[in-house]
């Protein structure tokens, strides 16, 4: 168990290319270009983190992070396609078309009062730009499986913290004291869950204990950052297992308190949420698109219905209007925990508000539902409710079949009949006088 934040007395365990089996073919050509240029300029250059971990477990890496002893300014001097970002962590982004390779300078612990480093009152790191060596940098990493360095100089892997062995044992282990490391960055709790769900690993006991005792620290994390984590948690193809772990650790209640409360009280809603998570994972596995708007709508469904019922009891309004207003109010409350961009909250509210309209199958208003810009999302949402046994399957079948009908068939299905024109003398159109004629 890794429970010390101090550097080990010996150097890294260096695993040669012949022993680790990771091929450069697994890595981005752009990342390799950055590594080779840094190395040629006399700097140390390593791939580090998830890309090395994923290559070791047989997954195809997608994100490529470079660690080096070059400072951000030195990196920028080497690459014309580079820009520096960040205040909390100063980084270099090297852009190749749409691909960005992130380059970070080795970091060290803060030991001097004038170091560019700061914590808030809860112990969370809010700025960390103290540069050091690779031996110091490794102890700034979060988990042992993410503290593996692929050296471009000889294609070996450097392992300072026993990450290779923990990967073999399928363990998520924090580097250093678990309680302290989670206080430094509470998002590490979510990352532990995400990696465990993705890799089918177990979370080390010391980490599990620390998460359960400090789950409320997530309220100290900027809400915008938690939205980014929400996307990674629920759109990577492991949403159901992630959800189970978040609920087990008490983290889901920190992210979506209103949803968690309804899940505790309503078994039917809990089943609906699980069906939506499975559907999301299925779509990701099939290479289909997923949108956070849909799953957020699922999370808000029961709280919105409860609030809508209260609103209708207070004021006279339709069920659709009440659901729209309820979704709006819930979105506002949610911003304090997970900040959801307006480009997702607006269509989500429309999708939820359309649900009562699926119960009407006659008239022009029902027909016009097919042309609504959110019809497809609302239809998929309704079908999921039907599959979960919470919407009339006959009505679901009706809305499925009507989409394949011709305009004339739809008019008949929705019982829309055009009124015949009244008989009578038609008005004779007055001829416009030609040029030169008197009017």
DSSP 139: G
The tens digit of pLDDT for each residue in 50-92 reads: 999 999 999 999 899 999 999 999 999 999 999 999 876 789 9
The tens digit of pLDDT for each residue in 88-107 reads: 678 999 999 999 999 999 99
The tens digit of pLDDT for each residue in 116-167 reads: 445 455 545 444 568 999 999 998 899 999 999 999 999 999 999 999 999 9
Q: Which of 69, 128, 137, 142 is catalytic?
A: 142
Residue 29 main-chain phi, psi, to 5 deg: -65, -35
> Rounded to an integer, what distance in angstroms lies between the CA atom of residue 351 and that of residue 327?
10
Is residue 266 helix, strand or coil?
A: coil
63 tagged catalytic: yes
Ordered strands of the 45-48 beta sheet? 13-15, 156-159, 148-151, 45-48, 65-68, 99-105, 91-96, 82-85
Query: Which residues 6+ apart lie within 8 Å of 223 measured at CB?
Result: 335, 336, 337, 338, 339
> Rounded to an integer, what distance in angstroms lies between the CA atom of residue 92 and that of residue 98?
16
Calculate the dihedral angle through the C-alpha atoms of 291, 251, 285, 101, rounding to the nearest 10 degrees: 80
Q: Which of 63, 73, 310, 401 is catalytic?
A: 63
Q: Which of 54, 65, 185, 260 is catalytic?
A: 65
Task: Please answer whether residues 139 and 6 qualify as being in contact, where contact means their C-beta atoms are separated by less than 8 angstroms.
Answer: yes
> Rounded to an integer, what distance in angstroms lies between the CA atom of residue 110 and that of residue 340?
34
How is residue 213 written in tokens?
Answer: 């005792």
> Rounded to an integer, what distance in angstroms lies between the CA atom of residue 355 and that of residue 358?
6
> Rounded to an integer, what distance in angstroms lies between the CA atom of residue 304 and that of residue 324?
8
Domain 1-178 listed as CATH 3.30.460.10: yes
Least Cα distance to 174 among 5, 379, 410 occurs for 5
**Is the confidence at residue 1, as pLDDT, over 90?**
no
Residue ranges covered by each domain of the chain: 1-178
Q: What is the pTM of this model?
A: 0.85
């Amino acid at each position: 168990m890794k429970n010390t934040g101090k550097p080990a007395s010996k150097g890294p365990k260096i695993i040669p290319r012949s022993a680790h089996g990771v091929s450069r073919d697994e890595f981005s050509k752009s990342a390799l270009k950055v590594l080779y240029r840094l190395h040629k300029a006399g700097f140390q250059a390593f791939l580090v983190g998830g890309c090395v971990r994923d290559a070791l477990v047989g997954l195809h890496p997608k994100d490529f992070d470079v660690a080096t002893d070059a400072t951000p300014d030195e990196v920028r001097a080497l690459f014309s396609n580079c820009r520096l970002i960040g205040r909390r962590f100063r980084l270099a982004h090297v852009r190749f078309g749409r691909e960005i390779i992130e380059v970070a300078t080795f970091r060290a612990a803060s030991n001097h009062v004038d170091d560019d480093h700061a914590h808030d009152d809860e112990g969370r790191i809010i700025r960390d730009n103290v540069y050091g060596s690779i031996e110091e940098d490794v102890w700034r990493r979060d988990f042992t499986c993410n503290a593996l360095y692929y050296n471009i100089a000889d294609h070996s892997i450097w392992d300072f913290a026993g990450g290779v062995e923990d990967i073999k044992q399928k363990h998520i282990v924090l580097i250093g004291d678990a309680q302290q490391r989670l206080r430094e960055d509470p998002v590490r709790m979510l990352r532990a869950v995400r990696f465990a769900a993705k890799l089918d690993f177990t979370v080390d006991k010391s980490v599990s204990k620390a998460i359960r005792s400090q789950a409320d620290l997530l309220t100290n994390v900027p809400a915008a950052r938690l939205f980014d984590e929400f996307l990674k948690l629920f759109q990577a193809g492991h949403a159901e297992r992630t959800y189970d772990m978040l609920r087990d650790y008490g983290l889901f209640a920190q992210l979506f308190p209103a949803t968690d409360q309804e899940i505790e009280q309503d078994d039917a809603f809990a089943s609906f949420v699980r069906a939506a998570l499975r559907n999301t994972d299925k779509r990701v596995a099939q290479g289909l698109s997923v949108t956070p708007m849909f799953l957020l709508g699922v999370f808000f469904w029961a709280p919105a219905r409860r609030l809508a019922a209260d609103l209708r009891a207070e004021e006279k309004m339709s069920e659709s209007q009440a659901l729209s207003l309820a979704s709006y109010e819930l979105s506002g409350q949610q911003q304090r925990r997970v900040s959801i961009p307006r480009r997702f909250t607006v269509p989500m509210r429309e999708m939820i508000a359309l649900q009562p309209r699926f119960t009407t199958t006659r008239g022009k208003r029902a027909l016009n539902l097919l042309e609504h810009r959110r019809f497809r999302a609302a239809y998929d949402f309704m079908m999921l409710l039907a599959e979960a046994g919470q919407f009339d399957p006959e009505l679901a079948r009706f809305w499925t079949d009507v989409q394949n009908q011709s305009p004339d068939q739809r008019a008949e299905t929705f019982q829309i009949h055009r009124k015949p024109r009244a008989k009578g003398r038609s008005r004779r159109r007055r001829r416009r006088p030609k040029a030169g004629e008197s009017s």
